[in-house]
Structures are given as structure tokens and as C-alpha cells.
Structure 1
Amino acid sequence: MLEFAEVQQPNRKTLFVEVILPLAISLNYTYRIPFDMNGAVAVGKRVVVQFGKSKLYTAVIAAVGEHAPEKYEAKYIIEVLDDAPVVTQKQLAFWQWVAEYYMCNAGEVMNAALPSALKLASETKIMLNREHEYDKTQLNDKEYLITEALDIQPELTISDIVKLLGQKTVMPILRLLFEKNIIILSEEVSERYKPRRKTYITLNPVYLNPDNRRELFEILEKRAPKQADSLLAYMKLSRQQKNVAKNELIEESGAGEASIKSLIEKEVFFAEQKVISRLGYEDDAEESSVFELSPAQQHALAEVREHFEKKEVVLLHGVTASGKTQLYIRLIEEMIATGRQVLYLLPEIALTTHIIERLRIYFGGTIGVYHSRFNDNERVEVWQKVLRSEYKVVLGARSSVFLPFHDLGLIIVDEEHETSYKQYDPAPRYNARDAAIYLANMHNAKVLLGSATPSFETYYNARSSKYGLVELTERYGGVQLPAIEVVSISKELKQKTMQSHFSSVLMADMALALENKEQVILFQNRRGYAPVLMCRVCAHTPKCINCDVSLTYHKHTTKLHCHYCGYKEDTPAVCPACGSTHLEYKGFGTEKVEDELSVLMPDVRLARMDLDTTRSRNSLQTILNNLEEKKIDILIGTQMVAKGLDFADVTVIGIINADSLLKYPDYRANERSYQMLSQVSGRAGRRGKQGKVVIQTYDPSHRVIKQVIENDYLDLYLTEMEERKSFHYPPFYRIISIDVKHMNPEILYNQAEYLATELRKHFGDRVIGPEPPLVNRIRNFYIKTIMLKFEKDGVSINKAKALIRDTITQFQTTKLSKGCIIQPDVDPY
């Protein structure tokens, strides 16, 4: 009767929650809610749950109900972490769409979406029960070892005990010790995010009266001169700024913390702790938006508005330096005026840090920035401000699509063609541009795609009227597009006019620019010093021990590096194959370009911008600031320098070797080469003066180079589209690739062939492969790729994905799949 009565009480309902765990599991898991937590659970809140024997995880509640799972007994949740949901209903729906479209699991999407500081650090901790006496002689060897370790160290984690015993299965031993009451298990969960707090000092209003303040100062000067200094310092700082921080007051007064503490105790000062931003700029930044649009820009803006009345997505196809950013600013202003939020996506952190300085002038503290260079605490802070609608504009890289927007009105995807919008590893392997279009649809928002060299898929959609199309064909301020000169490397080598990797034309143009106090950018799409170290006698080349690639020599570390897994080894003095000392470096990267240019131009201030020089938090911003402040004469870089950088005094661009782009074995090679060459060229002569671009190549007559010189994107598009249609490539076909991985190449061959055969039963000759990719071993896993091509018309892609999932699941139930990793990738390129 008592049990029945408890169930009938409203607050004693037995509730269950379906949660998303940050794991690659195909189904959500259901947990039971303790009665006293019934009122605390809600969709979008985080809970701590136990999954497996000992692991604790932070999970997000996806649904709340009264139905128990049929297949297993539901465990209780351990704790509810949030007072209010940190994930919105729309976000959960968006996560589900990403999981379904990109053929991954909701937990993998959660891992990508949530800042890691919102996923708690937790581990089971074990302690001795000091109140219980036991006979050590009754313990076996392993039990004795654990108790002895706990005598020395008060707490041990499960992972500590695994190391101590040298075995993974420690839970049965711990369970026995627990049953004997010898140990206590303490499940301890700690939040990683701590708000940043700062102490601010204010003066007691009594002393705002000049007479009272004068009297106080006279007393302090006689009895406590250091406190008098603190008061004087406060008065000085309070005239200069609105808020006086305690640390600033200590520094200004030189009186030390004790004097300020005494004044607080005397209630002369009041101290208040405030939660402050970690994001490096003040919320009360001044706002200004004074600039004039050119007639061409005004016309383009009117066209964008007109298209938005009928279409959800508009492509702004504007040449480099045409002033697309100014159009974005006008559209953002209009959207903010309606009270809705804006997401401004950029493909690279380099772009984000550069453009934020420009946008902050117009939007001040209403703009938030979100990208992977922020630490965990900063990312959580942005997340929470977006959740509270404190940020009206968010500027960020691809992961910004996962932020908790409430009322998104506009998404701008700048440089929409960039491959950086695609995540390749780990899952979800999503494209932020395509995901943004779906996200906008959920919020009834508009999407503006901007590019000087649009992706063919986007341009195809615009020309077929699925998207609106607006073209901006002239540079802002009437500046001409840069003059492009193509230099034949072969010819210069024959004439012996090449100096290292620099043609006579490029050397002359650089010298002239430097003489005129102008700046130069050199582009080489390889980092490191030399891509290959080769023995001249036996042609041996050192390779990575984990991957099927040659090691790249880096001069600053004097080591050989693998750019796939990070493996490093010392550079050999003799050939390990034949013992010869005749080792030479083949090819060159940005490091070698910098090294050799420093010899040719010893007085020139050089800097390098690639992955190696921008690893630390502020290094990228430092390089860009130095370039803007003209502390750098020549910047050498990889594709980072090609994307959206806008500097007034850069007049010469040198493309050291265009062939590395043009000769790549990929159906998109010509499209990507044109995009890269045009984007790099677009960095030259952006303000007032026409720039100059020097393209060095062994094949000056290549079709793409001619199209770049003539700025003829349409000719490139029409030519390439004929080939795409003939060979069944996007945008006419959809591609799903499946990577099959195993450490044993023979087992992999059988696994990949079996899976491809099973897929052919459903899809016939739409299945291509399995074939090895360009790099067929990475991190000790051999790889085979199966490609599936589906027509855009007449085939349900959702049904196809369901069949692929079922086939993979069926394969994974067989013994053959042991040790195999399968990674589907939708729209892989």
C-alpha cells in the first residue's frame, strides 16, 4: 500500500530520461530519475551518468518520459548539473540532422558541438575505509598491493590501479574489497568551467563629498601614509576610467594589498567581485559605422535584398577586393535592428582574427568570436552569452554552427568555396556551409554565400535558380585587378637567371616594391624545409614508421617530421640503406624559401606564416599585426596567406611554384588551383595602386593559368562541368565514400572486398572500388576506399544511406570485421 501511495503522488512519478552520451554508440541510452530529482530534469540539461562498469560521463537530456526501456534495466542518473538547459531544442534537432545526413552518431555530434569544458572531467576514486579494521593476512597479493598503495597515497583512481597491477580487469578485485568494507568508492565529478572573476574597488559615497574626503585624507596622511597613497591613486584612476580594478589600484599606488584591505575594513572602499569576459576586449567598445558604399556595392546590396524576398540562399559572386565585407556589415546592421541574431562564418582562424578588428569598429561588444584557438573557458563563455542572447553577432570558424542561437536571422558564409569548412576527422565529417543552410532553414533565416571563386556546386545552384545570384565585378574604389605575369621556370633555368627558387622577374619586382616601401607576399603550398631527403647513390628516402609517406625535413628542429601523425626522427648523417654520405634534399617548403631569401636579401625583414609558426595562441595575430604595422617586408606562407587578408601596402605577390597545385591527382584539381591562384593574386594592390602577381611554373601554357590571367571563372566552370557530367561527379551526382581501415593489409583486402560486394547487391555499378587512397597507411592503419555515386534525380539519398548503414551493421556482426574501422564520409570533397 505504501509503495502504491508513493507512485500516486505527482512528485513521486517514476521518470526516465533519454540521454545523448559523448560516445560513438548508435542509440541513445535511457536512465531512471531518482524521485527527489524529478523537478530538476529538463530537455537540454546536462546530467552525470554511469555508463559501463566504472566510467562517468556528462550526457545531455534529449527526452523526458515515463516509459522504462524494454531491453535493459535503467540505471539511476547521478546528478543534474544545470539549473537551466545549456542546449536548446533546435540544437538537439540540428544535432540529429547532422548525425543522419553525415552518417554518424548523435554522441559524435555532441562531442564536436559542446565545448570540452562543458563535458566534465570525472573518474572513480578509491580510498581506504579508515574506520574499518581488517586482517591483512587474509588478503591475496593483489588486494594487499592495493591497500598498501592506499596507505601511502590517500586516493587512487581506477587508471592508477590498472597501472599498479599491470592489468585492465581491476573492477572484480575492487568489488571484493568493497564487499569486505575495506575500501570506499567515491564517484567525484568536477566542473571544468570556472567563470573569471575580478575584484573592483568603489569609494564609499560618503567620501564623494569633497569636505569629507579632504578630512579623511588628512587623517590618513598622518596615521597611514600608504593608505593615503591608495586613496590618491583611486581618485586618479576613477577620473580616467569607469571601473577601477583592485590589481590596477595596487599597481598605480605602489602601496601594496594590505593598505587597500585596511581601507575596505574601514569601509572607505567597497570591494565587489564581478564575472568578467575572458575574450580580450571590453563590452562597452565604441560603435561607429561611417563608410559609403560605391554605386556598384549599392546596386549589389539592393539585389541581395530583392533575392531574399523570394529565396532563402543568395550567392554574392564578387571579385577580390570588391568590398564584400562592407555589404556584409550593412546586412548585419539591418538584421540587428530587427532584434535577430547573425552568424558570420569564416573558413580560417587567420581570417577570423584579422577581420574581427574591422567588425569590432562597427559592432563593439555585441559581437562574439568563437574558434578553436580559444581556450575551454573562453569557448564556454561565448556559448553562454549566445544562449542568453547577449551576442547579436557571432564571428567564427566552422564549429560556430553548433552554438545555441535562439533567433537566428542571417548566416553569412564568407569564402564559401573553402575546403576548411569541411571537417575530415573525427566524425561528424560535416561541411559547415551546407550545415549552415539547414540551420538557417530551421530558424527561418537567410543565408548569404560570398566568394570571388565560388565552388562549382554553389555556382550551379545559383545558375539553375535554386539560389539567388548577385555579381560584383569591380574592385572597391575603382582599383584595377592585379597585373599577372607568368614566368617559365624551365626557361629561366636554361638562361641561368634563377636565383635559388626565385626568377629574375620576381627578384626585380620584389626589389622595386621594397624600394617603394611596399610589402610582398610569397606563396608556397608546402611547409617545412624540404619534402624529401634522398640518397643520391641508392635513392633511399626515409619514410614514417606509422604512415606511408616520406618524412619532411624541418631545419628549425633539425629533424624529419611526418605531417600526418606527428612522428619525428633525427636526420641521418649516412644513408641507412647503403651507408653512403651523399644525402640531398629534394623539393622545398616555406622554411627553405625563408632561409634562402634571407641569404639573397639579408637586410629584408622576413616572416613565415604556416602551421609551424602559428601553433601558439597569439602567434598568428602577432604576425598579422606586424604585417599591418609594416614591421614585415616579405611574408612567406602556405595557403593561410591566400584567404581574405587585406593589407594596404602589399603590392607584389609571388607564387613560387604553381605546378604543385595544378598536377594534383583529383577531379577538383583545376577548380582548386584556379581558386587558390585567384585568391592569392587578390591579396595584391587592394588600396589605390594596382598590384603585380608573378606566377612561376614549368607549364606556362596551362589552361587554368590562362583562365586566372583573364579572370575567366565562367570559362573554367563551363569547361569543367562538361567533364563532371561525363564522369558522374558533383554537382550532377552525390558521392559517399567509405574508408575501411585495418592494421593488417591482407585482412583489410578481404574486409573491403566483402563490404564492396555486399554494397553492390543493393547499388550495382554505382559502387567503385575498393581502391587504396593516395596515402594508403596512416597511423599504422592501412586504408581502402569504397566510393558510391548516386544520381541527383530518381534516387532517394535517404534510402540509400539507410541501406548503407544496414550493410555496414550487418558486416560488423560477422567475424570478418574484427579489428576493422569503417568511416563513411558524405560529400567527401
Structure 2
Amino acid sequence: MFAEIVIPLALPKNYTWEIPAHLQEGLRIGCRVEVNLGKHKKYSGIVKAIHPDKPKGFETKEILNVLDHEPVIHAWQLRFWEWLADYYMATEGEVMAAALPAHFKLSSETILVFNEEFGDDFSTLDSEEYLVAEALLMKQELRLTEVQGILDSTHVYPIVNRLMGKKVCFVWESLKEKFAPRKETFVLLEPEYSNEDRLSELLNNWSRAPKQMELLLGYLHLLKTEGEVIKASLLKKANATDAQLKGLVEKGILRTEKRSVDRIQYLPKDIHIDFTLTPAQEEAFVQVETAFVEKPVCLLHGVTSSGKTLLYIRLIEQYIRKGRQVLYMLPEIALTAQIIRRLQKYFGGHIGIYHSRFSHNERVEIWNKVKSGELKVVLGARSSLFLPYQDLGLIICDEEHDPSYKQQDPAPRYHGRDAAIYLSGLTGAKVLLGSATPSLETYHNARSGKFGLAGLTERYGDVKLPTMQLVDLRAVPRKPGEKVMFSVHLLEELKQTVARKKQAILFQNRRGYAPFHLCTVCGWIAQCEHCDVSLTFHKFSNKLKCHYCGNIYPPVLTCRGCGSDKLVQKSFGTERIEEELEQHLPDAKIARMDFDAIRNKNAHDVLIQQFEQRKIDILVGTQMVVKGLDFDNVELVGVIDADGLLHFADFRVNERAFQLMEQVSGRAGRRDGVGDVLIQTNLPNHPLLQHVLRHDYVGMFLEELDKRRQFFYPPFSRVVLLHFKHKERDVVNDAAHHFTRLMQPAYGNYLVGPAEPMVPRVRNMYLMELMLKLPRDSQLLSRCKDDIQRYTAMLHHEGKFKKVIVVPDVDAV
């Protein structure tokens, strides 16, 4: 018997291993197995298929071991992986690497073993070899990561090779299970003293060891209040020691027991719905249910603050009561903090959260709880699609328009919303897409009848939409070439808002202090050494940062071009806005929400709670403040630089700009109906801004749809974007043009490019792009993807282009 096995590597196709006779009985599809690939490397792979057909053309190796008694994934997940790999032009190994928690993806770890015969005379070794050899003598074994720590370097292979050559050590490979259940020591009362009379007699006749008595009383108090007593909590509460507890154990009064416990604490499991839907919400709810009778997907198009979340909660309640599971998807982790508190209020411990901020062990625990059906509702980012649902009934894709649902790097470059729709076909689940500003593709599908459509056109509590005003920055006095940060009108409104004890949000789509360091003498701009992009100055850390590769540089004091010290900081980011505001409004409490300010696991939640509790008057932020947050007391929203949203070379630029401005405006006046939005712009007559002023999504949609039809962009075509990368500009340029010539005969009418992208070099790799706009024909798309792979192989057979990286991105956003 043979097994097709997926291993977490980018292999073009799955490899087949032979199943030894002694493993055949226990092996099942979806189980992990230990296999050997190459000479020494071991991996844990997932069994995809078992069959009797011996592969032709190569000798199979045997499976070394079966790692699971029960499958860790379902058969439908393997079909989902296969579709993702096929549609998004990835490999199943890359999908597996993205899908499984890290502790399920084992690979062999190189271990150095000391050679006793070498002895302890290290006089022939150099200083680095000596350090490693001395550590080996003491510990006998060292992992490669430990050697890197000893030498404070990641480049340790030459040293290891020299030590092996001198017979100081040997190398072997081990495959180790990384997940370990968390253990806690519980303290229990011996059965003899569970009788109240016997316990009273013990306490009344206690004569010695007062500390032990104090510990016992502390135990009885914790037992009464919490039901179970953990050793660590008991010792802390009673201010006692291990020795005192050991004394009570030796007397036969208490005993200890180790148990596996959850790393994540869950609330009691109950359902408590304490609201009724408004007539408008009830009507939308009926529209959704009616749509689900005929169609698996429905779009809920509800204006900002219309109470879409309450409608989701009612749907979740329905599915939980049927015993089915629900996936509630959000585009970013940042949004989960506020939503989770709301859902826990209604569903308690039925709710689980899954995203990248959790530890590897925590993610394995959540994985197992979802697989067993213990967790009924999962709230998570796009990666939560990969969980092993036992009986998935509903997928809610909130803020479905958000580009964060599209994975960029590494592969698979899948779209969470579209993958959810395919997943629903495998599991029989329904999909509800929710947004105040749906993507053009989704709204087009809903209007054309492919998806169901439900509408919520009024805000919750009959609250009015905020009033929108354009502030013409052309009328604001300024120096030549200077950008205006605050108009007098915006500053005055901010002061009045704070005076009324109301709150404000300011949106600027740039983080940092100043995006440009410019020499006024020769025009030189400080740029990253590894990317063709300007460096952003971050004043808080006093560093220049590249927002593409992450490299950090010291501040520049003199021009690299002419040596002048006449450098100025141009434009502004959230950090500078925060600083300027503190000067204009010294009494206001101001905070910043962006990637730099939100660093650890709970920082975002803490900041949101402070804003909810009105400990912050003005919140300055990037797109983080735009998305789905619900604050009662926000009266004013300011869009600092609307022009920055309208000047991108992207066919979606108007759609994205409308979505961002409409979404951020929706944070204002959510409870009392008094909300103002000020949009600062140098382009007050821009057609898109007229739609924004009227909250006219449909008008924007019809106008953009007409342009998309005219220029053959989605939803009328499918876009496949090919990225070419190489460390030499001429090579990547020639490769892109050569590839285009190969594509020309069959796809000439659909090609756009090749051309350099807006940022032509990132991480020392020069870039070129080639776009294909294909008709919506699945057979043509499939043939095109096959041809791309074939032409990529042909490209790599040419010596000059061997190292050119070709990255396909299907349905690029």
C-alpha cells in the first residue's frame, strides 16, 4: 500500500511514500505521519490518499511512523486545500503550512552530539569552535538554535562543519512533538475529611503548626468560592510554602493531583439575548432567511451604525440552538477586541477566538475544541477558515469589502471572502457578507441575482447619518510646496467638541512623523538602501524607517548628495498630527492608534477601552480607526488628507477612497444623531467626493461599474498579476519582456504591461509586473494558469533567467 502525503514545502506535486505492513492498520486519511525527504530531513506530513498503485519513475521510501491515533483534519479540508492550491496557483504544501498551527508542522531539528573519543583538549580549535566544543562537553547535546545563541550569529554552519570535520561532534536529526498540554497541580481534600463532622473535629482539636492551619483554612475558603483549588493560587492566597502544604499531605488531610487545563479561560456556556430587533432589522433578517432558502450566499448591505451586529447575533443564536457551528470572520485582529466583548455578553463560553496573536500552544487547543464541536462560535481573521469544523452551519464575513481579507505574502495568496464562499459548498454552510460599502464585485453579484441581497437603510434608533463637509485647503494660507495639516475650521470644531465633553477621531493614512526628508539645496530625499522608497521619520524612536522592508536608520543630519545641512521634513503622519494637536489643544487627552502604537497582544484592546470609557478625547489613527468600531460619544470625524486617498495608480482607487471615507464617517454620531465629518481636500470638485458628501454608495457603484465595463476590469474580467523579481534590474526587465512574448500569441488581447510598479525595488530585488485581464471563463482561466506554470519553467531553463522569481497573484487586489 502507498500513501500520497502533503508536507509543508512548496513541492510542485505531492510525493508518495510506501506504507510498511506494521503501520497499515492504524493509518487513516487526515493523520500526520513522519517521513524522510532527501538524505536526512524528516517532516510530519498529512495523509491525503491511500492506494495500492506503486508510482512509476522513482523508488518510494517507507513511512517512518504514524504520529496520530485520530485524524487531525477532515477529508473536506484536504479538498479545500486542493482547491486553494489550484485556484491561487500555490502548492498544497504551502496551503498546509498556512493552515496548520505551527506545533502540528514538525520538521527535524539538527542536534550536535559530543564525541567522547575526542577528549577535552580543545587547544587546536579557534575561538568560535572552542566556545561550541566547551558547551558540548558540558551538555553532551546542543540544538542548532542553541549554537546560534552561543555564537550570537545565525551563520553557524561553517563552524559546525569544521567541528564535524575535526571529529569533535556528530550530527543527527530528531523529530519532536512540540505541543504539550498545560498541566496544573490541583489540591484536593482526602475523602475521610469530606464529612463535615470529621472536618470540624480535626479543626477543633488542632494544637500545633499554626501555619498549616492557616493554609488549610485558606484551602477551605477557596474550595467554597471557586469549586476547585489550584496549588499556585492556594500558596499565594495563604502566603504559604511548599513545605507547609507537604506537611498537610503527609498527615493525610490534603492530596495533590496533576491535570491538563486550558490555556485560555472560557466563560460559562449560556445564551442570553436581551434585545429585540427594530422593524427595519427584522425586515432585513427575514430577507436574509428568505435568500438562504434559494442561495448559499447573501449580502447584507447596511449603512454604518444600522445594527448589523445585532442581526448577526440573532442568526448565531439560531445556529447554536440547532447545534451547529458558526464562523464570524473579521478582516483584522484589531477588530476582534470590541466584538468579542459583545458576543461573550450574549453567548458566554460558546465563543472562541483564533488569530496569529495567540501562542502556538493556544492555537492547538482551540483547533482541538473546534474539531470536537465544543466551541460553537469562532471569531477570527481569514486563517480561521482552516479550522476543522465538525458541523459548520454559517459563515459571517463582516466588512467583506476590506482588502485585508486578501493574503499577500507568502503563498497561498487567497481571498478570505472568496475562500469562505467555496468552503460553504464543501460544508453545506450559508455565507452572510456584511458591509456598509460592499466591494463592487460583491454588490454586482447581488444585484445580478448570483447572491441574495438584504438591505438596512436606516441607522439604529432612527439616528441620522452624519453631516459631511468639504474643507477647501486651497483657501488656507501656506508656504509654497507646504501641505496643510489643520484648517482653522477643523481646529475650531475640535476645540468645541472637546469643550462639550464629546470625542473626535482624526484619520490620516500615513504613520510615522514625516514621510520625507528633503534637501532644500539639491532636492535629495533620504531613501532606503534596499528599496526604492523614501524613509519615514519616527520621532518617538528618533529613527528613520522603511515601511517596505522594515530596516531602521539613524536620523540624517547632512545631505548625502551635496553635504548641506539644510534638510526639511515634508508631509506628515499620525505621529506628527498627535504632536501638533497637543500644542493646539493642550488640555485635551490625545492618543494614537497605528501599527507603531499597537505593539503587543492586548495594546489595541486597552486603547479601545480607554476611548470607550472617555479617558481619551481625540483619537488619531490610520485605517485601524476606520473599521467597524462602535463608540457612543464620537461627535466629530476629521479626514486630514483626502487627496492622499485619491492619488494611487490603481483601478480600485475611487472605490477604496469612498469606502475609507464612508467607513470613518460612520464612527460619528452613532447614538444621539449629532455627527459631523470634515474632509480636508485641495480637490473639492472631484466627482467621488460628491458621492461621499451624499453617502451615495449606489451612485458611486454605478459610475465606477460603467468605467470598469469600459476598460474591462473586474467584475467583468478576472485579473491575474504576475510579479517578476531579481537582484539585477536588466535581468528582471528582460525576463518580463521575454515572458510576455511567450504569452503574446494566445493571450495578446488580455495583456497589460510589462511595467515597473510604483516601487520598483524592494529588499534589494528589482520588480516588474505583467497583468492579465481575462474574460470570466473558468476553462480559459484554468488553461492560462497551466500556461503560466509552463512558461515559468521555460523561463527558468534559460541560463540568464534561472534565478528570476515569478509570483502569480490570482484576483489581485
2:218 aligned with 1:240, yes or no? no
* 1:121–1:192 contact (8 Å) kept in structure 2: no
2:716 aligned with 1:732, yes or no? yes
* 1:500–1:596 contact (8 Å) kept in structure 2: no
SS at structure 2 position matched to 1:95: helix
Per-residue deviation, residues 395-428 of structure 1 (Å, max 9, x unmatched): 1001111111121111110000000000111100
Q: Alpha-carbon deviation of 1:715? A: 0.8
My pick for the range that moved more, 536-545 or 694-703, is 694-703
My pick for the range that moved more, 291-300 or 703-712, is 703-712
Q: Which residue is equivalent to 1:41? A: 27
Q: Which residue is equivalent to 1:671? A: 655
Q: CA RMSD in A?
A: 2.8
Q: Which residue is equivalent to 2:83? A: 97
Q: Alpha-carbon deviation of 1:135? A: 15
Q: Which residue is equivalent to 2:240? A: 255
Per-residue deviation, residues 508-534 of structure 1 (Å, max 9, x unmatched): 222222222221111111000000010
2:190 aligned with 1:192, yes or no? no
* 2:519–2:567 contact (8 Å) kept in structure 1: yes
* 2:478–2:484 contact (8 Å) kept in structure 1: no
> How far, CA to CA, are the matches of 1:260 and 1:176 in structure 2?
53
Query: What is the percentage of aligned positions where both structures have the same residue?
Result: 45
Q: Which residue is equivalent to 2:42? A: 56
> How far, CA to CA, are the matches of 2:493 and 2:744 in structure 1?
57
Task: Work out which of the residue numbers 362, 386, 391 in structure 2 matches 1:378.
Answer: 362
> How far, CA to CA, are the matches of 1:185 and 1:714 in structure 2?
66
* 1:286–1:361 contact (8 Å) kept in structure 2: no
> How far, CA to CA, are the matches of 2:436 and 2:734 in structure 1?
46
SS at structure 1 position matched to 2:438: coil
* 2:41–2:173 contact (8 Å) kept in structure 1: no
Q: Which residue is equivalent to 1:268? A: 253
Q: Which residue is equivalent to 2:616? A: 632
SS at structure 2 position matched to 1:493: coil
SS at structure 2 position matched to 1:244: coil
SS at structure 2 position matched to 1:40: coil
Q: Alpha-carbon deviation of 1:225? A: 1.0
2:273 aligned with 1:278, yes or no? no
2:26 aligned with 1:26, yes or no? no
SS at structure 1 position matched to 2:419: helix
SS at structure 2 position matched to 1:126: strand
Task: Work out which of the residue numbers 515, 522, 533 in structure 2 matches 1:538.
Answer: 522
2:67 aligned with 1:81, yes or no? yes
Alignment of 1:300-699 (within 5 A): 300-493=284-477, 501-699=485-683
1:274/1:690 Cα in 2 relative to 1: closer, same or farther (>3 Å)?
Answer: farther
1:166/1:519 Cα in 2 relative to 1: closer, same or farther (>3 Å)?
Answer: closer
Letter in 1 for 2:751: V
Q: Which residue is equivalent to 2:740? A: 756
Q: Which residue is equivalent to 2:809? A: 825
Per-residue deviation, residues 367-414 of structure 1 (Å, max 9, x unmatched): 110111111111111111111111111110011111111211111100
> How far, CA to CA, are the matches of 1:436 and 1:659 in structure 2?
34
Q: Alpha-carbon deviation of 1:476? A: 0.6
* 1:655–1:696 contact (8 Å) kept in structure 2: yes
Letter in 2 for 1:357: R
1:493/1:27 Cα in 2 relative to 1: closer, same or farther (>3 Å)?
Answer: same
* 1:521–1:635 contact (8 Å) kept in structure 2: yes
> How far, CA to CA, are the matches of 1:301 and 1:120 in structure 2?
45
* 2:486–2:640 contact (8 Å) kept in structure 1: yes
1:569/1:670 Cα in 2 relative to 1: closer, same or farther (>3 Å)?
Answer: same
Letter in 1 for 2:210: P
Q: Alpha-carbon deviation of 1:186? A: 3.5
* 2:483–2:571 contact (8 Å) kept in structure 1: no
> How far, CA to CA, are the matches of 2:131 and 2:605 in structure 1?
50
1:414/1:128 Cα in 2 relative to 1: closer, same or farther (>3 Å)?
Answer: same
* 1:604–1:633 contact (8 Å) kept in structure 2: yes
Letter in 1 for 2:198: N
Unaligned runs of at least 5 residues, structure 2: none
Alignment of 1:705-744 (within 5 A): 705-744=689-728
Q: Aligned pair count?
A: 805
> How far, CA to CA, are the matches of 1:555 and 1:140 in structure 2?
47
1:738/1:499 Cα in 2 relative to 1: closer, same or farther (>3 Å)?
Answer: closer
1:770/1:154 Cα in 2 relative to 1: closer, same or farther (>3 Å)?
Answer: same
Unaligned runs of at least 5 residues, structure 1: 1-14
Per-residue deviation, residues 18-50 of structure 1 (Å, max 9, x unmatched): 211111110111223343333332211122222
* 2:281–2:456 contact (8 Å) kept in structure 1: yes
Q: Alpha-carbon deviation of 1:333? A: 0.8
> How far, CA to CA, are the matches of 1:168 and 1:26 in structure 2?
31
Letter in 2 for 1:271: T
1:495/1:789 Cα in 2 relative to 1: closer, same or farther (>3 Å)?
Answer: closer
> How far, CA to CA, are the matches of 1:656 and 1:122 in structure 2?
52
> How far, CA to CA, are the matches of 1:165 and 1:706 in structure 2?
58
* 1:318–1:471 contact (8 Å) kept in structure 2: yes
My pick for the range that moved more, 24-33 or 732-741, is 24-33
* 2:326–2:393 contact (8 Å) kept in structure 1: yes
SS at structure 1 position matched to 2:453: strand
Per-residue deviation, residues 753-790 of structure 1 (Å, max 9, x unmatched): 11111111321221221111111111011011111111
Task: Work out which of the residue numbers 740, 759, 783 in structure 2 matches 1:799.
Answer: 783
SS at structure 1 position matched to 2:39: coil
* 1:766–1:790 contact (8 Å) kept in structure 2: yes
Q: Which residue is equivalent to 1:225? A: 210
TM norm structure 2: 0.94
Letter in 2 for 1:189: L
Q: Alpha-carbon deviation of 1:174? A: 5.9
My pick for the range that moved more, 506-515 or 783-792, is 506-515
> How far, CA to CA, are the matches of 2:81 and 2:623 in structure 1?
31
> How far, CA to CA, are the matches of 1:274 and 1:158 in structure 2?
33
Task: Work out which of the residue numbers 753, 758, 771 in structure 1 matches 2:755.
Answer: 771
Runs of 4+ aligned residues of structure 1 deviating over 4 Å after TM superposition are 132-137, 144-153, 156-177, 182-185
Q: Alpha-carbon deviation of 1:337? A: 1.5
Letter in 2 for 1:469: L
> How far, CA to CA, are the matches of 1:165 and 1:681 in structure 2?
51
Q: Alpha-carbon deviation of 1:352? A: 1.1
My pick for the range that moved more, 805-814 or 739-748, is 805-814
1:318/1:228 Cα in 2 relative to 1: closer, same or farther (>3 Å)?
Answer: same
* 1:483–1:691 contact (8 Å) kept in structure 2: yes
Letter in 2 for 1:691: G
* 2:641–2:681 contact (8 Å) kept in structure 1: yes
> How far, CA to CA, are the matches of 1:166 and 1:717 in structure 2?
57
Q: Alpha-carbon deviation of 1:202? A: 3.0
1:167/1:203 Cα in 2 relative to 1: closer, same or farther (>3 Å)?
Answer: closer
Q: Alpha-carbon deviation of 1:708? A: 1.1
1:212/1:108 Cα in 2 relative to 1: closer, same or farther (>3 Å)?
Answer: same
Per-residue deviation, residues 410-449 of structure 1 (Å, max 9, x unmatched): 1110000000000111100000000000000111111100
1:446/1:147 Cα in 2 relative to 1: closer, same or farther (>3 Å)?
Answer: closer
Q: Alpha-carbon deviation of 1:54? A: 3.0
2:104 aligned with 1:118, yes or no? yes
